[in-house]
Amino acid sequence: MMRQLVYKILNRMLHSGKFGDIAHRKALFGYLPKEKTLHYVDVGAFHGYFFETVKKEIRIGSAILVEPQPALAAELRQKYGNDSSVKIYETVLSDSRHEVKFYHNAESATSSMLRIDENVLGGHLDTSVAEVTTHTAMPLDEMLADDKRHIDLLKIDVQGAELLVLKGAARVLARTSYIWIEVSFKPLYEGSTTFDEVYRFMNENNFRLISLLEGYRNTQNELLQADCLFERIAHD
């Protein structure tokens, strides 16, 4: 019981944006251009902590924040609703337009359109589901159909549904320079994406992996997640 409580507290700290994960991820900003004003898209914006860190490290001229959890989307609107350079979408993204269930977990940082695999994470995290809601998911291409701007940095953190978001973003990817994406090395959710699938997809779509930072480990010190930075391959 004590071990579970400790890991629950550590997980909250990890995803709070106030402790090691944000400080650690700052190392990746060295790869991003700092001499110009950038357009940023954040899929899975959560509380907006990561967006705040991005703004401190590089010049953001405009941003799109996507967060499907109503309470968190409301928090983002409260923070940035008066900022004309920031647009907020309370939307579930996937590979196509269809009805999906969204699992609002007791640990909100783990909420997803996929259900947590308790065989992998049970005993390490609180895997209980607080609520299940139904949404009409849409592809990122559809959500941004009227926005043709070049995207300097696209961040994706969608708890196992990364490949679904990527598959629904062909036109968006074609005008994106860098993609910052959370990956898992084994399925942490039922039917979720793993690193090898993301890596293969990114290579097939003209992106190369340029940096990787370790993320969440379980109680056996097994590395389960990391953050990857992919760069579009420039052709002469």
Q: What is the mean pLDDT of residues 57-70?
A: 95
**DSSP H stretches of helix in 178-221:** 195-204
CA 205 to chain CA mean position, Å: 19
Q: Name the phi and psi angles at 81, rounded to 5.
A: -60, -25
Higher pLDDT, 113 or 18: 113
Q: What is the mean pLDDT of residues 87-109?
A: 95
Question: Is residue 2 scored above 90 in pLDDT?
Answer: no
**Structural domain boundaries in the chain:** 2-232
141-147, Cβ contacts within 8 angstroms, sequence gap of 24 or more: 141/168, 141/169, 141/170, 141/171, 141/172, 142/97, 142/168, 143/66, 143/89, 143/91, 143/93, 144/41, 144/64, 144/172, 147/64
Residue 174 CA to residue 24 CA, distance in Å, equals 29
**Residue written as tokens 């004003």?**
37
DSSP label of 185: S
Higher pLDDT, 202 or 223: 202
Percent of the chain residues topping a pLDDT of 90 = 65
pLDDT at 22: 58
Can you name the residues that pair with 228 across neighbouring β-strands? Answer: 181, 212
- The dihedral through the CA atoms of 82, 84, 86, 87 has a sign that is positive
62: three-class secondary structure by DSSP:
strand
Residues sharing a CB contact under 8 Å with residue 169, sequence separation 6 or more, in sequence order:
139, 140, 141
Question: Is residue 187 scored above 80 in pLDDT?
Answer: yes
Distances (CA, A) of 205 to 93, 152, 154, 199, 202: 19, 16, 15, 10, 5
Find, among 127, 205, 123, the residue nearest to 160 by Cα. Answer: 127
Question: Residue 204 half-sphere exposure, CB side, CA atoms within 13 Å?
Answer: 10
pTM: 0.88
19-58 confidence digits (pLDDT tens):
345 555 666 778 888 778 999 999 999 999 889 988 888 8
**CATH 3.40.50.150 is the classification of domain 2-232:** yes
Residue 9 CA to residue 16 CA, distance in Å, equals 10
